[in-house]
Amino acid sequence: MILMKTLLIRVLRSLLTFLGGSVPASAPAPSVPITPPSIPASGFPSQRPRMYHVRIITSESRFEGLMEALEHAGITGMTVTRVLGYGLQKGHRGMYTGTTIESKLLPKIQCDLVISKIPPETIVDIAKKTLYTGKYGDGKIFISSMENVVKIRTGEEGFDALQDKPL
């Protein structure tokens, strides 16, 4: 046990010396592990604004109203995709030329936004007010933190990459 403590002390001293710190030779053995100083990685400033990825999935018929409401709130860009999916209702039955057709997957619209200036709560409120009917298929909203964004054309990262500037 004493041999392991001695070895641990030597390793910690070597690590601290390597990282630019120093420990006096007569220092008592630390009771808690020493954490190396944090070194910020380039391109990831420590005090950057928070960014969020917001995904809204809803019926095709309700999307135009949502898009107009988001633009009115200051959203300047979004990615829109036609998707297929089902929820609790597990699809629907329909008639086509006298034949009953079952469709498990329903057509939906998926709208993806990355936001930094507008709080995600604002987007959720807008979507709920615009999309709510009280029936199946109103949709879902998914919110997750976004670590970084890189604008390929300019190389800008983070908050700056989300700002629209004329060419």
- The 3-state secondary structure of the chain reads CHHHHHHHHHHHHHHHHHCCCCCCCCCCCCCCCCCCCCCCCCCCCCCCCCEEEEEEEEEHHHHHHHHHHHHHCCCCCCEEEEEEECCCCCCEEEEECCEEEEECCEEEEEEEEEECCCCHHHHHHHHHHHHCCCCCCCCEEEEEEECCCECCCCCCEHHHHHCCCCC
pLDDT at residue 163, rounded to an integer: 86
Residue 12 carries which side chain, given as an amino acid letter?
L
Looking at the DSSP bridge assignments, the partners of residue 57 are 110, 140
Average pLDDT for the chain: 80
Give helix 63-72 / helix 120-131 axis angle, nearest 10°.
140
Q: Say if CB 58 and CB 66 are below 8 A apart.
A: yes
Q: How far apart are CA 162 and CA 48, in angstroms?
A: 13
Tokens representing 151? 């604008």
pLDDT at residue 33, rounded to an integer: 52
- Give the range among 18-27, 47-56, 101-110, 131-140 with minimum mean pLDDT: 18-27
Domain 51-162 architecture? 2-Layer Sandwich (3.30)
Q: How far apart are CA 154 and CA 133, in angstroms?
A: 42
Q: Is the pLDDT of residue 139 over 50?
A: yes
Looking at per-residue confidence, does 49 or 78 come out higher?
78
Domain residues of the chain, as ranges?
1-39, 51-162
Mean pLDDT of 138-153: 94
Instruction: List pLDDT tens digits, range 85-125.
Output: 887 777 666 666 777 777 788 899 999 999 999 999 999 99
